[in-house]
């Protein structure tokens, strides 16, 4: 009799636990659904009403198909009345900076675009800023570092010392050069890369001179790789005004007639989470809602080729 009573009590405990976990699961499912609805529905409604778009450029600047599409969408959106580009980046690849520059210039042909500088807006980050109509920097923002570089290592001497030889059969002496295994360095390899760097550097100086209304010799003096504070950059005409987003919005209102009641709405590239079902997509939406980009787990950024980046 006691065993039967104990079994009944245990079954009741199991039922209570089962109901508890079912309830937790249901609440989680509802939470994810609400998050998805808020993210999808709320984002769409805020972007359909007239607003100022905020585009954030942070971290390493790389070639980005999603970002290119976003800039095209902003350019074609009648709801976007102006754009604020919030930059906090040391730079990145020259192609990534060029894509941002071209995309922002396309937008600027249709609507006002301004840039705000955070802690860093150097190299390709500065390349991004000069695509806009007006640049705002904080007094202690770090900007400049106008230039291009190409870095490579060479372990050929080390491999010779330890008795390892890499044999290469190629179509011409400069094919696949500079190589980390060629020692001494192939004649002409460094000169070839220098020509590549010089050509891109000349283009960078040209757009700095054009966008900042500087004589090319003056732009060239500023493009020795030096970095500048926001205050120094203002004196050198590399930026237009000391301030942040509030000052940018005020300028848009006064200089461009942008309505002061317009909200500033964040735009970001679409980055679909590489999941396999509805649950994965819902989790991705919920993650974006709280500021976690799950797609980043499946992406890889590489600084190959020519780069325009500054780091201490």
Active site residues: 123, 175
**DSSP of the chain, one letter per residue?**
-HHHHHHHHHHHHHHHHHHHHHHHHHHHHHHHHHHHHIIIIIHHHHHHSSEEEEEEEEEEE---HHHHHHHHHHHH-SSEEEEEEEEEEEEEEHHHHHHHHHHHHHHHTTS-EEEEEEEEEETHHHHHHTTSSEEEE-TT-EEE----B------HHHHHHTT-------SSTTTT-S-TT-SSPPTTHHHHHHHHHHHHHHHHHHHHHHHTT--HHHHHHH-SS-EEEHHHHHHTTSSSEE--HHHHHHHHHHHH---TTPEEEEE--------SSHHHHHHHHHHHHTT--GGGGG------SSEEE---
């Amino acid at each position: 009799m006691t065993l039967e009573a104990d079994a009944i009590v245990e079954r009741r405990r199991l039922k209570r636990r089962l109901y508890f976990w079912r309830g937790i699961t249901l609440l989680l499912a509802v939470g994810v659904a609400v998050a998805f609805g808020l993210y999808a529905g709320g984002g769409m409604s805020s972007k359909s009403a007239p607003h100022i778009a905020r585009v954030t450029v942070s971290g390493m600047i790389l070639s980005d198909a999603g970002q290119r599409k976003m800039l095209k969408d902003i350019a074609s959106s009648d709801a976007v009345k102006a754009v604020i580009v919030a930059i906090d980046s040391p730079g990145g690849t020259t192609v990534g900076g060029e894509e941002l520059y071209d995309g922002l210039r396309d937008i600027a042909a249709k609507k006002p675009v301004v840039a705000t500088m955070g802690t860093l807006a150097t190299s390709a980050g500065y390349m991004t800023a000069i695509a806009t109509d007006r640049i705002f920097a904080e007094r202690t923002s770090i900007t400049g570092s106008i230039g291009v570089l190409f870095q490579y290592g060479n372990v050929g001497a080390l491999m010779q010392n330890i008795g390892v030889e890499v044999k290469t059969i190629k179509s011409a002496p400069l094919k696949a050069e500079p190589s980390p295994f060629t020692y001494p360095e192939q004649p002409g390899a460094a000169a070839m890369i220098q020509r590549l760097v010089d050509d891109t550097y000349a283009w960078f100086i040209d757009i700095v001179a054009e966008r900042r209304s500087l004589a090319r010799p003056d732009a060239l003096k500023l493009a020795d790789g030096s970095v500048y504070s926001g205050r120094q950059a203002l004196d050198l005409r590399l930026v237009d005004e000391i301030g942040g987003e509030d000052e940018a919005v005020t300028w848009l209102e006064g200089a461009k007639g942008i309505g002061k009641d317009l909200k500033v709405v964040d735009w970001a590239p679409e980055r679909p989470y590489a999941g396999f079902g509805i649950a994965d997509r819902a989790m991705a939406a919920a993650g974006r809602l709280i500021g976690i980009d799950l797609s980043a787990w499946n992406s890889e950024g590489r600084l190959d080729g020519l780069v325009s980046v500054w780091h201490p």
